[in-house]
Structures are given as structure tokens and as C-alpha cells.
């Protein structure tokens, strides 16, 4: 074999090894960097929020721009309280469009009727099918807006949007981030990557608590190094109201839209403006 051929073979082998290493990094959080255990935890909200965005995989390119605009996550393992009773979900899917401040929660209880709950900007409604016949749900507006903020990427975006109103405290080595959003006060407890592991949302007389566990890249084969929790649990007044285990995600900005239907925009807007 000539020296040129040997060099070519070596280059191909090195390329394949590099690609494999990159793929493995995307599967287990290998690219995230935890801060030094000897460093003093930061209380600078901008730094904490930027670290959160970076470790969630939101910042891309030389300019470190937030490139995550749309996400979908779904699974077949979950429960939800409906009419005061906890039911098992046969399937569920959450679709998010952050440029529209929109979320569609599409779920079907075992042996039950499919339900599609939507919020977009200052409007809330239910759909018979995605994008289909709509029923205005103005009373659900704030609750759904807060649910959007409580999604992992949604929280990072809302905290940044809060600007100087976002505050960080450190006590006993635990970092806490507090900020207002959609009429609610959000308080999040962060892990060493500045990702939230639990959060509390207070609005009106409602106190909603959420836990987030096992961050990873849950895309199928096309890993994107966007890290989301696999298990999300919400409790209200000590009762579990939502328990979702993520099976798959699509974090490559999938086609997700939730335009406001004419009958919703025409007279069913939420009574509260933000």
C-alpha cells in the first residue's frame, strides 16, 4: 500500500471514530460540563440562565444564539387527573412553539376520549383534532400559559425574558432561581448544570409543584444534544395531577403551529392581558 493510500485509510478511520464519539456524547449528556465543585456558586441571574440554556442545548453557533423554537415530546406512560380522578393515559404528546407562545397537549386516556388542549399567545381552546374544530376555553388561559413556562425549555426562555426581575439565591449549596411570568411567580431549584430539578408556580390561589428527573437527549437516532427530563411529575395541594414519562422527543424544530381559530379570536380571548 502506498503512503498516500495509507494516509487516506487513516483519515477515514479517524473520521469514523470522531463521528462515533460525537454520537456517543449526544446519548448520555457527555457534552455538558458541570462547574467546579470548589467554585463559589454564581448569584448572577444572567450567568445562571445562560448556563441553563447552554446545558439544555439551546445555544448554538459562534454567536451562541437560542436556536430552539419548536419541540415535540411524547410517550405511552403517564397519568392525569381528569374531573378529580386520576386516569392512565394510553398515549400523550406535547407540541411546543415558543415563537407563538403556544402549546398543544394531545392525550387519550385508556378506554377514554381523546382530548386536545391548546394555548397560543393570549388565547386558549380545545380541539377535536389538531388544528380542527375549536371550542374556546378562556378560563383555562392562565393555567395553560403557566404550563408552557414549566416546560424545561420554556422555563429558560421565560427566565431570560424576565430580565432584571429574575433573582438567584444560594443557600446550603443549593441554587434557586425566582422570576415572574404570566401572572405567576416561578421558583426553581437547580442542579449542578443549572437545570431545574423542581419548580413551584404560584398564581391566584393555585400552588403547582413540579419535579424533573433524568435529563438526556431522547431523540431517536438523530441526536441533537438537546437535554430534556425523561420524567415529569406535577402535584397540586399534595395530589399528583400529572405524571409523564417521555419516550421520544423531536428537538430539530419540527413543524408545529397553533394558529388561533377565528371563533376563538373573535370573542373568547382571555380576560387578562400580559
Q: Is the pLDDT of residue 127 over 80?
A: yes
| Domains in the chain: ranges and CATH | 65-265 (2.50.20.10)
Q: What contacts 14, CB < 8 A, 6 or more positions away?
A: none
Worst-scoring range by mean pLDDT, 35-49, 148-162, 190-204? Answer: 35-49
- The mean predicted confidence, pLDDT, of the chain is 87
What is the grid cell recorded at 130?
A: 389538531
* 152 vs 10, more confident: 152
pLDDT at residue 1 in the model: 54
* pLDDT at position 2: 56
At 119 the three-state DSSP class reads strand
* Under 8 Å between Cβ of 115 and 126: yes
Residue 151 pLDDT > 80: yes
Taking a C-beta distance cutoff of 8 angstroms, is the pair 87, 109 a contact? yes
What's the confidence (pLDDT) of residue 39? 58
DSSP-derived 3-state class of residue 198: strand
CA angle 193, 196, 200 (to 5 degrees): 160
pTM of the model: 0.84
Mean pLDDT of 209-218: 97
Q: What is the pLDDT of residue 212?
A: 98
Reported as a pLDDT band with limits 50, 70 and 90, residue 34 is: low
202-213: average pLDDT: 96
Amino acid at each position: 500500500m502506498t503512503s498516500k493510500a495509507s494516509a487516506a485509510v487513516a483519515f477515514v478511520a479517524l473520521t469514523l471514530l470522531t463521528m462515533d464519539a460525537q454520537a456517543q456524547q449526544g446519548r448520555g449528556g457527555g457534552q455538558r460540563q458541570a462547574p467546579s465543585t470548589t467554585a463559589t456558586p454564581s448569584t448572577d441571574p444572567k450567568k445562571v440562565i445562560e448556563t441553563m440554556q447552554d446545558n439544555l442545548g439551546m445555544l448554538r453557533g459562534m454567536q451562541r444564539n437560542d436556536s430552539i423554537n419548536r419541540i415535540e415530546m411524547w410517550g405511552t406512560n403517564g397519568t392525569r387527573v381528569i374531573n378529580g380522578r386520576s386516569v392512565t393515559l394510553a398515549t400523550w404528546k406535547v407540541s411546543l412553539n415558543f415563537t407563538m407562545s403556544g402549546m398543544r397537549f394531545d392525550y387519550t386516556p385508556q378506554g377514554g376520549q381523546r382530548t386536545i388542549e391548546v394555548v397560543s399567545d393570549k388565547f386558549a381552546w380545545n380541539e377535536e383534532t389538531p388544528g380542527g374544530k375549536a371550542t374556546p376555553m378562556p378560563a383555562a388561559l392562565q393555567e395553560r400559559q403557566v404550563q408552557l413556562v414549566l416546560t424545561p425549555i420554556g422555563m429558560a426562555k421565560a427566565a431570560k425574558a424576565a430580565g432584571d426581575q429574575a433573582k438567584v439565591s444560594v443557600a446550603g449549596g443549593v441554587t434557586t432561581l425566582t422570576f415572574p411570568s404570566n401572572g405567576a411567580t416561578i421558583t426553581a431549584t437547580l442542579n449542578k448544570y443549572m437545570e431545574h430539578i423542581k419548580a413551584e408556580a404560584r398564581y391566584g390561589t393555585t400552588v403547582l409543584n413540579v419535579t424533573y428527573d433524568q435529563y438526556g437527549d431522547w431523540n431517536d437516532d438523530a441526536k441533537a444534544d438537546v437535554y430534556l427530563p425523561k420524567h415529569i411529575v406535577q402535584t397540586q395541594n399534595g395530589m399528583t395531577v400529572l405524571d409523564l414519562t417521555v419516550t421520544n422527543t423531536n428537538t430539530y424544530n419540527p413543524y408545529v403551529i397553533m394558529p388561533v381559530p377565528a371563533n376563538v379570536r373573535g370573542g373568547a380571548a382571555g380576560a387578562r392581558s400580559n
